[in-house]
Structure 1
């Protein structure tokens, strides 16, 4: 690895460390950023996000708060269960290629409704047409979790979906310039922990 590539990799690792430090401030109740109208005005002329967060649509998971970031610091893409559909992947490709975002964090969370729906469908052995696309996309991690750890199926299914999403994104040619990591958010403690592949 040449010197400039090594320096770029260190910057991405520093960015990830900064996000985790922001999560510590969030958990301690000591946020640095107010995210008020003045902050919005300062960020209005242009954007230069340092990372992208691909997370769930769950209203309890707001990436800017969880990582204590201000306007313009994160590009946030959401789908239920962070299922990497075409629009989500296209959005991630856009922020990497057009905005130069070097880091993507796939952020799952406990008690995810989409994962819960998939677990229920697998247990009932029914592909309910009302559940549709999301249950279909989350069927594999839900089935694996129920088989491997029925008493801990929900947290395991969430972790498996994080790992699966990270692996999917790493295979994408248009995302090869970004570091992609998985993380899990605890609704109860507010803590973000990295998830091994």
Structure 2
């Protein structure tokens, strides 16, 4: 993943401003002082059209709700979800659509601790076995799970490493997509216990 430096962010003025706004929204979420109610009034106001400023590609985990985590209202954020944020064709196509049709300039790949898909892959690698119910996901997540086990034998640490490796792999994958050229793609981690979002290179 490209290093997030001041100069690289300056090349993406709009996207960098949006990223700052998302992190500020996470600050409001942490403080228990959200700006947006996301009630029926807001839904009706947004109904005529949408101009989202960012897309979040995250996991299907029910505890990870991007609109709340970043304190965004209706129409402000596009969210694409797959287990373990595996960038399959539909997910990538959705992000490409967001860029081409809606002008999104920022994609945040948001991982989280205690990810069930990551844990399934870790167990499969450890046992060198596959489960027909999770074969596709395990196949897609085998590399980060395998690398994590090669770096540590402590299960919680392996899970954390595998998740971060998968975030970086996803960011790199999206960064190579021609249809996402010029888009700022960054990786981040959501802490289930504290609610804090941290850019991946700060972890």
TM-score under structure 2 length normalisation = 0.92
Correspondence for 2:129? 126
Are residue 188 (structure 1) and residue 182 (structure 2) matched? Answer: no
Are residue 13 (structure 1) and residue 16 (structure 2) matched? Answer: yes
**TM-fit CA distance, 1:8:** 7.1
Backbone CA RMSD of aligned residues: 1.4
Equivalent residues of 1:96, 1:177 under 8 A apart = no
Correspondence for 1:157? 162
**TM-fit CA distance, 1:196:** 2.5
Equivalent residues of 1:105, 1:182 under 8 A apart = yes
CA shift in 2, pair 1:7/1:108, >3 Å: closer
Correspondence for 1:27? 30
The 5 Å alignment of 1:49-68 reads 49-68=52-71
Correspondence for 1:144? 147
Structure 1 residue aligned with 2:176, among 158, 164, 171? 171
Correspondence for 1:3? none
The 5 Å alignment of 1:89-100 reads 89-100=92-103
**TM-fit CA distance, 1:86:** 0.3
Equivalent residues of 2:10, 2:16 under 8 A apart = no
Secondary structure class of the residue paired with 2:78: strand
Runs of 4+ in 1 over 4 A off after TM superposition: none
TM-score under structure 1 length normalisation = 0.95
Equivalent residues of 2:107, 2:184 under 8 A apart = yes
